[in-house]
Structure 1
Amino acid sequence: MFVRAVLGVMCLPLMAMTVVHAATTQQHMSVDVPCTTKMQLSVGEKRYIKVYENPSTGYQWTASQTTELFKVEDYRERPTTHLPVVGAGLQRTWIFEAVKSGHTTLTMTHGRSWEKQPLQTWQCDIEVVAAP
């Protein structure tokens, strides 16, 4: 199993990075690094999680939250380092935008929908507070 992800908030592993687009900075989280402390976000803030998956084999990432505090979007793209090959994996970017105050546990799982146990599970406690 190969997972690519980047982190910008909770700790600084070797793969840590922040991606800058024009005047905005994207804060990335990593499913490869355990979320050991409660994360605090303000309403309106976004966090990005990039993962590698291969839907042609059934292996995909899913996201769930215990309470609906985030607007969740995702998109898939073929990594530019890969040639377009049938059955090749994709990079998937999940975008979580905090839309209301409260507490939730964000859970990301990687596996096949018909199998009982996922290959990988990542969880993070998140507190969303009103924007200043």
Structure 2
Amino acid sequence: MKKITFLCMASALLTACVSTPKPTELPKGTYSYTVDTPCAENLTLKVGESISVQFYDNSGSTGYSWSVVGAKNFDVTEAYVPMLPTDMPVPGSGQDKTFAFTAKATGTDQIAIHHGRGWEGQSPARWSCKVTIH
């Protein structure tokens, strides 16, 4: 009986140690992604909650830029991710950047982030997310 109890407890402990939360299960209604991680299906936010999407931006020297399509029910801000003091920027290199989408109105909205050169027309979305806001 003691062996069975020990095995059950050990199994539960190991399971708890290896389980990790989904990337969309962050505290206080903040959902964080990169352009390479897909948005959760059926994502639901409350007004005031946010989604952030991080990407690498080198628009200053390549001609490629990032643009947001949709997101009518969101306040959209963009900011560069702070570099570490030890990082030396190299001329012509880029930097990580983030779009933050804060829900401002109820409804369903589609956010799409595109990466391309303006004179070539609209490129396919690199990241998209359908969101319901309550």
SS at match of 1:114: helix
User: 8 Å contact 1:73–1:96 — kept in the other structure?
Assistant: yes
Residue of structure 2 aligned with 1:52, choices 53, 56, 64: 56
- The aligned amino acid for 1:86 is P
Q: Is the Cα–Cα contact under 8 Å of residues 67 and 113 in structure 2 kept in the other structure?
A: yes
State which of 69, 74, 78 in structure 2 corresponds to 1:70: 74
Which 5+ residue runs of structure 1 have no aligned equivalent? 1-6, 11-17
One-letter amino acid matched to 1:91: D
2:99 is the alignment partner of 1:94: yes
CA shift in 2, pair 1:26/1:34, >3 Å: closer
Corresponding residue for residue 110 of structure 1: 115
Select which of 39, 51, 58 maps to 1:35: 39
**Counterpart amino acid of residue 8 in structure 1:** P
Calculate percent identity across the aligned residue pairs.
31
**CA contact under 8 A between 1:78 and 1:89: conserved in structure 2?**
no
Q: Which amino acid aligns with 1:52?
A: Y
**In the TM superposition, what is the alpha-carbon distance from 1:86 to its structure 2 partner?**
1.4
Alpha-carbon contact 1:40-1:128 (below 8 Å) kept: yes
Query: CA offset at residue 33 of structure 1?
Result: 2.3
**Displacement of 1:49 after TM fit?**
0.9
Higher helix share: 2
How far off is 1:73 after superposition?
0.5
Deviates more, 1:74-83 or 1:26-35: 74-83
Q: CA-atom RMSD, angstroms? A: 2.7
The Cα shift of 1:36 comes to 5.7
Partner amino acid for 2:51?
R
CA distance, structure 2, for counterparts of residue 64 and residue 105 of structure 1: 8
Structure number with higher strand proportion: 1
Contact 2:29 2:49 in 1 (8 A): no
Contact 2:66 2:114 in 1 (8 A): yes
Give unmatched runs, 5+ long, in structure 2: 1-21
Secondary structure of 1:61's match?
strand
Q: So what's the TM-score if we normalise by structure 2?
A: 0.69
Q: 1:64 and 1:49 mapped to 2: Cα distance?
A: 14
